[in-house]
Chain A
Amino acid sequence: MSLKRAFTLTELMISVVIIGTVLFAIVEAYSSIQKAVQYSKDRTIATNLAHEKINIIREKLYYKAVPSLNVSYLTDFDPPIPYDTVFFPPETVLEGGVYYTRYTYIVPVEEVNGSIVELPPQSPDTGMKKISVTVVWSYRNEKKKVSVSTIYASKDTVMRNASIGGRIRDKDTLAPISNANIIIAEYIGIVDVSDSNGNYSASIYPGNYTLYVQKRGYFPYLTQFSVGPNQSITKDIDLKAMGWGKITGVPWLRDHLVISQIVGSTESPSGFDQEYIEIFNPTTYTWTVKGNIGLRFQRIYDDTKKNILINYFTDTISPGGFYLFANTSPVIINGVSINADAVWSSTNSSIDFPYFNPSLGQYNIIPVFGDGSDEGGGAIELYRISDGKILDQVGWNRNSGTKKVAPFCEPGTNCQTQAIQQNIGLQEGEQYVRYSSTAGVSSVYGPSYDSNNNSIDFKDYLSINISPRNSSNLLPIISGTPADGSIVGCGDGYSVSTNSYLVGSPPYSYFELNYVATGTWNFSVSSNTYAFITDSITVTNGSTVTLNSVYLTSEVSWGYITGNLTDVYGNNITPAIKVLSSDGNETYVSNKKYTLMVSTGVVSITANPGNLNPSYVSVSSNNISINAGEIKSGVNFVLFQGARITGKVVIAGSTVAVPGIPVLITDIYETPRDNQITDTSGRFITNVLSTGSYIVIPQTDSKESVNPSTYTLTLTSPGTTVFSTTFSITNAIGYIAGSVKFQNQPIKTGVLIVVSTVSLSGTPPQPPDISSQMLSGPPYYMASSNEEGNYLVEVRGSTNPAYNVYSYYPYLDNNGNFVIYWSSRTNIKVYAGQVVSNINFSW
């Protein structure tokens, strides 16, 4: 019979816990589903808000959608999202209990071969702008966003209906020049490149321009031209050949200590089995070796590298000097005694090194073939003790018998073929010696050649041919590591940086920098953070400067940008123009050239920032990437002269300023050249415009009118600011704003606001029905308050008659019926461009 028993208290409690856990899990799951649903709703609302903002902007005049000049970035997202901070600042909207922030960004765009290209904000108006609205909200402590973009095209989109074309030739030979850059200074960029027959052409907007033609090996050519709508003009240009030469050279990187000699076994006169490792310093600075530089060895039988314990006698290794590690001191070779700078410590373990056992009179870390047991292969490593950084590695194979490959060799190489190739490995009396140059081993030059391939860099001798050297020896250096792919640049302002490449066997690195203008320039070769920099390389016409060995020995963390800067006639500008980099470095142009030291990475540079020299425009060159030690040449600028236009907009018949009125400035061909908005004092001021005639046109909507409607003026004196005129405007927009409250709480459900100069009658005062019958007569303005209990109504500026503001709040009484609560304010005077705030209503 089975034993039946009731639940114990513990069992009951456990089941309660289990049931509780399950219930909790269900509730959690339900709430997470709810949250996911919530996210999709939030997203829909955000999208609607973005579309709404775009509609609000598109509803305004095209010229009121001013491109964003003052831009900040939302860095919570990658890539960061730009937004306008001045004309369309961020705004917060509460909807469905969630706060959404709307960010707006407007850029001029242009259609190029069917795709839309963004232009710099100062570009002349193309009749098209891209409006991007990003709505950001927080969802479970995480920022979420929705972005919507649209193209806003002006009704009178300007067409590139003018053109320029022609032929580029060599002034002396009259041969066509291909690949010349055709630049229009006012467009900031290349508009065409000449073809094989020297022909070029470009479609442009009608206007006055500066043409700039640039070709390596020729002096740049500048000319000014004017072209009207539907007009084509021809400019044939002959370029004068410039004197130029070239620079060639062999760059070597000398940045690390190298293992220069390895001997595994050689007998002293007394019969002691000597072994040693010699180190060489090809760098230009002294290294501390004592306690700082160590050695590791690995036999072909071991699984891991073993640290060699060392007693150091000498502290440092000098530039061009040696350092000798040995198992005894002195080392006696061919009857000559040489002191070691450090010796193996007697505490090295015989477990790590089976041929090292002082009690048995054995002092060998590195086994040789004669030790038997297939010994003879191995690898040695020179490293920095503090951080384990590997300075150099040498491995040697034992290719015959039971074939064995070195356990390691130079990082990234295949030891099968790139370790020192040996039949029976390292032998008694054998030595490996590093090359002094591609020519081989030398006893008079430092063993510094390091192509990162042990099979090429070392020669083996079956007897000691090159005696070991210690810290008392110094040798001159004629090589290093071939600086493959190093960047070569010259500050002549014309040549283009080039890269070095490997040639020969054993390999060395080589470069050829062409079309370097004649003169004395700064010049650099850089690889990673090591560089060779000089400021006095002289190039003469038709010659080649040959630099047999260029040593990259100095560590740098910056680069240089150089180029030419002239006025439109190719002349130097005085007072000197400032050039500023985006990382904050600056310099001044001297004799048409500038050299700017910049931090590495991507930078933008601006010539004449902020119109510091007010007679000239400001021009930027973006996204220049620069490496450490690099000289980037040919970042050239042509600055055209100009002046600014200012003016004022007031309410007709008064001196009251009207802010927020867009003002368009076109040239005489009606091509837009600038677009500004009046500030709080009703004034506007343009960017620097090139000298010439302009038309100032305040932009008004169909209800507004302005007098005069346009104003034409001519800018003749560069650097001046010319006052156009005072424009009088009637019927411009102003605002009435306020809050709505019920029992001191903001009303979240909506209050209707009606504004008119008409006095309404009835209880509550009854506004008229709105229809197309109402188009004439005094207008009514309406709005609903938002979820936060605030409202904003746009009205035409009017003080006489002043406005009446009516508000209506549908209150739901206890019986579920609506009662309209209402209130009104009279004699509200609104000036154009101003906000009359605090017109609050409460019940």
Chain B
Amino acid sequence: MKKGYTLTELMAVVAISGILIAVGVPVLNTVNQNIIMAKTRLTLQQDARTSMSLITRVLKEATASSIVITRHNSSQMFYSKIKFSTIDGKNYEFYQDGKSLVMRDGNVTRVLSSDLRYLAFTLTESSDLYIVSISMTLERYLFNGKRKALHMASEKVMVMND
């Protein structure tokens, strides 16, 4: 014997499905957004850490007398660029160009991050070039600019050579 759905059953199914969708979609949407936020935050943290450890590693090898702190061009932030030579004679630059964090190793330039919001190389005192503080903020806008993920990292580097 075959039996189909009754009209009442079908209507109940449709009603329940409707309620589930009405409640579930916004919830799923929020969950999804939160996951994307968390993921982005982690990505930014990771990028910041990678870039920071790259800068500190190279900067430690710098000779203090070769350090110049400036900016890449007149539309960038002050002190958002550092130039130096290492003890074995290699030249490096790290700087902000708009939203890009750029590394220049000899003649090769490389973009380390495209989410740069803030970068500053500062000294406790301009006459002491042996300790450089680096402050870096990465930022990415999500969901049509409605929300943003943000990560700030800062570190002090001791320059080992005169």
Contact = CB atoms under 8 A, between A and B. Distances in A.
Interface of A: 3-6, 9, 12-13, 16, 27, 30-31, 34, 37-38, 41, 44-45, 48, 52, 55-56, 59, 95-97, 703, 748-750, 752, 754, 766-767, 769-772, 774-776, 779-784, 786-787, 794, 796, 808, 810, 812, 816-818, 820
A4 B2 contact: yes
Contact of B127 (A3, A96, A97, A774): A774
Contacts of B2: 4-6
Contacts of B125: 703, 779-781, 794, 796
Given A749-B118, A820-B77, A783 B133 contact: yes
B12 A770 contact: no
A5 B3 CA distance: 6
Contact of B152 (A5, A782, A786): A786
Contacts of A796: 125
Given A27-B31, A748-B150, A38 B123 contact: no
Most buried by A among B31, B49, B76, B122: B122
Given A5-B2, A44-B49, A97-B41, A775 B120 contact: no
B105 interface: no
A3 B100 CA distance: 69
B55 to A, nearest CB: 13
A770 B79 contact: yes
Nearest to A48: B155
Q: Which of A30, A749, A770, A794 has its CB near the most chain B CB atoms (within 10 A)?
A: A770
7 contacts: A6-B2, A34-B38, A44-B49, A771-B129, A779-B125, A784-B135, A810-B118
Main SS class of interface, B? mixed
Contact of B35 (A30, A55, A767): A30
A754 B127 contact: no
Q: Which of B68, B120, B126 has the most CB atoms of chain A within a 10 A radius of its CB?
A: B126
A55 B156 contact: yes
B144 interface: no
Interface string B67-81: 111100001111100
A783 B154 CA distance: 11
Contact of A769 (B68, B98, B99, B117): B68
Given A772-B66, A782-B123, 14 more contacts: A12-B13, A52-B156, A55-B156, A96-B41, A96-B152, A703-B125, A748-B137, A750-B120, A767-B79, A770-B123, A771-B69, A782-B124, A784-B118, A818-B76
Which of B77, B120, B137 has most A Cβ within 10 Å? B120
Contacts of B143: none
Contacts of B156: 52, 55-56, 59
A749 B69 contact: no
Nearest to A780: B126
Given A41-B42, A770-B79, A808-B77, A779 B127 contact: yes
Interface in B1-29: 1-5, 9, 12-13, 16, 20
B56 to A, nearest CB: 10
B1 A818 contact: no
Contacts of B137: 748-750
Most A C-beta atoms less than 10 A away, residue of B42, B137, B154: B154
Contacts of A770: 67-70, 79, 123, 126, 129
B139 interface: yes
Contact of B154 (A37, A772, A786): A786
A63 to B, nearest CB: 19
Interface in B24-63: 31, 35, 38-39, 41-42, 45-46, 49
Contacts of A95: 152-154
A781 B124 contact: yes
Contacts of B152: 95-96, 748-750, 786-787
A96 B137 CA distance: 10
A21 to B, nearest CB: 14
B151 A774 contact: no
A779 B99 contact: no
B43 to A, nearest CB: 11
A661 B137 CA distance: 35
Contacts of B13: 9, 12
B150 A784 contact: no
B36 to A, nearest CB: 11
A587 to B, nearest CB: 51
A772 B158 contact: no
B1 A784 contact: no
Nearest to B24: A20
A803 to B, nearest CB: 13
Contacts of A780: 123, 125-126
A56 B156 CA distance: 8
B47 to A, nearest CB: 12
B74 to A, nearest CB: 9
Contacts of A748: 137, 150, 152
B65 interface: yes
CB-CB nearest 4 A-B residue pairs: A784-B135, A782-B122, A750-B118, A780-B126
B112 interface: no
